[in-house]
């Protein structure tokens, strides 16, 4: 298998969407994730299913360096092993009780989750910063057709919408659903940020129309 086929990095959220001691749901083509940041600021990606009775861990809570399930309070480390079972406070949980984890990298204001085993680090977005994210009910092909442009090797689509240059970082969530991060130049003015955001919305509506989804 060629190295580039062993895996890739999915930019699942903006750094600013995940303050310390919080957990949010995220998704890649590999499935649902509980994306969480510990009190000290370290980020982890755990499978969004508690090994006990299947509750979504993204509904849970973060205390210190652990993620706890909202249902019966089992808590997990960033490596995935169970740390504590409140109903059995004297028990050291066996190593076999684990939640699957995926690698995470934080760079350029984005949180990248490894799908498979990527051969390289996430792509650099030198000079660009994320402004906001939106979900488009269309696949990447429909967005490319709406933009009249194709993704570059980083997954960035560069186009002009309503006379406004737009840079979008795209990642497939599931069939006909794409997560889009709007990128702007580092140091963009408030007016430029507003125009970029509006241009992205305009492109979203056209792509969804092309896809036959909700405009």
Instruction: For the CB of residue 57, give the shortest distance to ligand FES in the complex, in Å.
Output: 8
Q: Which is nearer to ligand FES, 7 or 73 (CB)?
A: 73
What does the block give as tokens for 34? 């509980």
The verdict on 74 binding ligand FES (CB under 6 A) reads yes
Task: Please identify which residue in 71, 107, 156, 176 interacts with ligand FES, judged by CB under 6 A.
Answer: 71
The verdict on 50 binding ligand FES (CB under 6 A) reads yes
Q: Which is nearer to ligand FES, 69 or 196 (CB)?
A: 69
Q: Which is nearer to ligand FES, 86 or 141 (CB)?
A: 86
Strands (E), 73-198: 75-76, 82-84, 101-102, 104-107, 110-116, 128-136, 156-161, 164-174, 177-185
Cα–Cα distance measured from residue 181 to residue 175, given in angstroms and rounded to the nearest whole number = 18
Backbone angles phi, psi at 147, to 5 degrees: -85, -20
Q: Which residue has the tokens 């442009």?
A: 149
Q: Which helix (H) or strand (E) holds 24?
A: strand 22-28
Task: Please identify which residue in 4, 72, 201, 212 interacts with ligand FES, judged by CB under 6 A.
Answer: 72
The verdict on 83 binding ligand FES (CB under 6 A) reads no
The verdict on 76 binding ligand FES (CB under 6 A) reads no
Cα–Cα distance measured from residue 134 to residue 185, given in angstroms and rounded to the nearest whole number = 18
The verdict on 53 binding ligand FES (CB under 6 A) reads yes
- Helix crossing, 190-211 with 140-147: angle to 10°? 120
Contact 143, 154 (CB under 8 A): no
Instruction: For the CB of residue 47, give the shortest distance to ligand FES in the complex, in Å.
Output: 12
Q: Which is nearer to ligand FES, 99 or 115 (CB)?
A: 99
Instruction: For the CB of residue 103, give the shortest distance to ligand FES in the complex, in Å.
Output: 23
Q: Which is nearer to ligand FES, 75 or 159 (CB)?
A: 75
Q: Which is nearer to ligand FES, 8 or 76 (CB)?
A: 76
3-state secondary structure of 20: coil
Backbone angles phi, psi at 83, to 5 degrees: -100, -30
Stretch that binds ligand FES, among 19-27, 47-55, 90-98, 135-143 (CB under 6 A): 47-55
Give the interface with ligand FES as residue ranges (CB under 6 A).
50, 52-53, 55, 69, 71-74
């Amino acid at each position: 298998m060629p190295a580039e086929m062993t895996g890739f990095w999915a930019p699942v959220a903006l750094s600013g969407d995940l303050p310390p001691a919080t957990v949010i749901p995220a998704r890649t083509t590999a499935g649902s994730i509980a994306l969480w940041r510990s009190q000290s600021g370290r980020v982890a990606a755990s499978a969004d299913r508690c090994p006990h009775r299947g509750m979504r861990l993204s509904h849970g809570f973060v205390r210190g360096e652990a993620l706890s399930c909202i249902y019966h309070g089992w808590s997990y480390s960033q490596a995935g092993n169970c740390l504590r079972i409140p109903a059995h406070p004297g028990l050291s949980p066996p190593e076999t009780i684990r939640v699957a984890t995926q690698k995470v990298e934080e760079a350029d204001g984005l949180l990248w989750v490894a799908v498979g085993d990527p051969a390289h680090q996430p792509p650099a977005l030198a000079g660009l910063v994320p402004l906001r994210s939106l979900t488009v009910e269309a696949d990447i092909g429909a967005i490319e057709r709406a933009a009249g442009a194709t993704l570059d090797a980083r997954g960035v689509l560069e186009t002009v919408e309503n006379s406004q240059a737009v840079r979008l970082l795209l990642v497939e969530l599931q069939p006909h659903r794409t997560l889009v991060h709007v990128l702007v130049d580092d140091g963009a003015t408030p007016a430029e940020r507003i125009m970029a955001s509006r241009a992205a919305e305009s492109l979203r509506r056209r792509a969804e129309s092309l896809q036959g989804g909700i405009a």
